């Protein structure tokens, strides 16, 4: 079968290949063959690739049950002495070597068959979380965790997972959207966030947190944002009704039993107070644990108040099409903190891990040439 081409495609491309669990030395920038799309697949020329915690956590093996500390703690350990973790990936073992990169804005340049031909020549976002058994099942596979992703000049994906976007945003701005915004929107969708809800967003300056703040406001919720003192003014500018900082007594400042929904991807030592803040029948939704996965839980705070705890990994069916419509209608805006050349990924991840910024980092692959 011959692929349908929109433009000439070189035989090789530049990519960052993650060779195993460990430190920055596991990020190998090199030339590899350009993938060839098969039936039901398209080839996307990567215009910009966003960064997020998932790539760092996967490289470190943070998802392993043996890890009890924060991403920052494990990063320091892995830099000193790398340890391979059989259960350290999103779905158990990560298939190293792998090209990471979950967030992709790109241009469809080839299709394996007629199924993807309608997307040829379009600027698209890639839905990185895929549901191979349909949306009736929560089983999921992830681009960049289960198969090669967008830290490259090209990426091959199912034609069903690319969504054309028509807007005036830059490529880098669009690349901030997929993982952070789809995760945040799924959290709000699954937790039933609606107009009038009192919502607390933790980690409100990060990718998922800042996205959740915007998306909750879009639904008509009142948002209290939790962040650091240094970022309080910038987070307030995103539309939060109240900004509180991590050094404050949250029960005193926010109020016990005053919150309908907590949107959290921080966890760690700050978890117990979150249930104190929720009112009877409240909901707590989580998509991560950047401050550490092991938390103290007084089970009485949950069952005596009829609180629902909602985990979020697999993205729900309406989420990605909805996000595209929000972009095209101007209902959300990107938060692009910085761009870096793809070749400088180690420096970019080191800067990203310091969390001194608002929003997202984006990697830019080199322009494609005949000799790429």
With residue 331 as reference, give the H or E element that holds it: none
Q: 158 and 122, same structural domain?
A: yes
Cis check for the bond before 359: say yes or no (omega within 30 of 0).
no
Q: 146 and 271, same structural domain?
A: no
Task: Kindly provide the residue ranges of all beta strands, DSSP E only, lying in the chain, ordered along the sequence.
Answer: 4-5, 12-18, 27-33, 41-50, 98-99, 103-111, 123-126, 129-130, 141-142, 154-158, 162-164, 198-201, 222-227, 242-245, 259-264, 278-286, 308-311, 336-341, 360-364
Q: Which domain holds residue 103?
A: 4-177+334-364
pLDDT at residue 88 greater than cutoff 80: no
Q: 218 and 94, same structural domain?
A: no
Q: Is the dihedral of CA 178, 182, 183, 184 positive or negative?
A: positive
Indicate left, alpha or beta for 42 from its phi (over 0: left) and psi (-120 to 50: alpha): beta
Q: 152 and 122, same structural domain?
A: yes
- Mean pLDDT along residues 77-88: 64
In this structure, of 5-14, 40-49, 74-83, 182-191, the range with the lowest mean pLDDT score is 74-83
Q: 86 and 39, same structural domain?
A: yes
Distance of CA 372 to the CA centre of its chain: 28
Q: Which CATH number do you get for residue 104?
A: 3.90.180.10
pLDDT at residue 76 greater than cutoff 90: no
- pLDDT-above-70 percentage for the chain: 95
Can you give the pLDDT at residue 220?
98
- Mean pLDDT along residues 77-103: 78
More confident residue, 255 or 2: 255
Q: What is the 3-state secondary structure (H, E, C) of 168-227?
A: CCCHHHHCCCHHHHHHHHHHHHHCCCCCCCEEEECCCCCHHHHHHHHHHHHCCCEEEEEE
Mean pLDDT over each residue of the chain, to the nearest integer:
93
Q: What is the number of structural domains in the chain?
A: 2
- Mean pLDDT along residues 84-91: 73
- Mean pLDDT along residues 24-44: 97
pLDDT at residue 1 greater than cutoff 50: no
Can you give the pLDDT at residue 81?
55
Q: 161 and 105, same structural domain?
A: yes
**pLDDT confidence bin for 84, thresholds 50/70/90:** confident
Q: Is residue 119 part of a domain?
A: yes
In this structure, of 64-68, 204-208, 240-244, the range with the lowest mean pLDDT score is 64-68
More confident residue, 109 or 67: 109
- Mean pLDDT along residues 13-38: 97
Q: Give the contacts of 136 (CB within 8 A, at least 6 positions apart).
A: none
Can you give the pLDDT at residue 281?
98
Q: 297 and 228, same structural domain?
A: yes
Can you give the pLDDT at residue 70?
74
pLDDT at residue 87 greater than cutoff 80: no
**pLDDT confidence bin for 4, thresholds 50/70/90:** confident
Q: 26 and 157, same structural domain?
A: yes
Can you give the pLDDT at residue 164?
98
pLDDT at residue 101 greater than cutoff 60: yes
Can you give the pLDDT at residue 82?
59
In this structure, of 40-49, 59-68, 175-184, 213-222, the range with the lowest mean pLDDT score is 59-68
Q: Is residue 319 part of a domain?
A: no
In this structure, of 47-51, 63-67, 88-92, 121-125, the range with the lowest mean pLDDT score is 88-92
Q: 167 and 96, same structural domain?
A: yes
Q: Strand 141-142 vs strand 27-33: parallel, antiparallel, or unpaired?
A: unpaired
């Amino acid at each position: 079968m011959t692929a349908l081409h929109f433009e000439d495609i070189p035989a090789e491309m530049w990519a960052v290949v993650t060779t195993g669990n460990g430190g920055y030395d596991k990020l190998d920038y090199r030339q590899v063959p350009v993938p060839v799309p098969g039936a039901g697949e398209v080839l996307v020329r990567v215009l910009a690739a966003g960064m997020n915690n998932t790539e760092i956590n996967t490289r470190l093996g943070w998802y392993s049950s043996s890890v009890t500390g924060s991403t920052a703690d494990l990063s320091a350990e892995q830099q000193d002495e790398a340890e391979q973790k059989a259960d350290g990936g999103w779905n158990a073992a990560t298939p190293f070597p792998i090209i990471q990169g979950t967030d992709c804005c790109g241009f469809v340049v080839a299709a394996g068959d007629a199924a993807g031909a309608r997307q040829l020549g379009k600027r698209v976002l890639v839905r990185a979380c895929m549901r191979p058994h349909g949306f009736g099942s929560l089983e999921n596979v992830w681009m960049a965790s289960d198969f090669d992703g967008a830290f490259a000049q090209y990426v091959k994906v199912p034609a069903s997972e690319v969504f054309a976007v028509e807007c005036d945003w830059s490529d880098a701005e669009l690349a901030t959207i997929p993982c952070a915004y789809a995760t945040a929107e799924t959290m709000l969708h699954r937790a039933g966030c609606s107009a009038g809800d009192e919502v607390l967003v933790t980690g409100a300056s990060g990718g998922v947190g800042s996205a959740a703040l915007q998306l909750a406001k879009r639904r008509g919720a009142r948002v209290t944002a939790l962040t650091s003192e240094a970022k309080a003014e910038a987070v307030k500018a995103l539309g939060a009704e109240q900004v509180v900082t991590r050094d404050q007594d949250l029960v005193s400042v926010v109020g016990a039993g005053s919150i309908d929904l907590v949107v959290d991807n921080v966890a760690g030592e700050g978890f117990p107070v979150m249930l104190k803040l929720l009112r009877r029948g409240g909901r707590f939704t989580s998509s991560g644990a950047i401050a550490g996965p092991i938390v103290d839980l007084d089970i009485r705070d949950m069952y005596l108040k009829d609180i629902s705890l909602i985990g979020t990994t697999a993205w729900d069916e309406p989420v990605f099409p909805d996000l595209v419509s929000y972009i095209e209608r101007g209902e959300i805006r990107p938060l692009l903190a910085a761009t870096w050349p793809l070749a400088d990924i180690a420096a970019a991840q080191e800067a990203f891990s310091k969390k001194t910024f608002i929003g997202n980092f984006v990697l830019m692959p080199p322009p494609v040439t005949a000799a790429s």
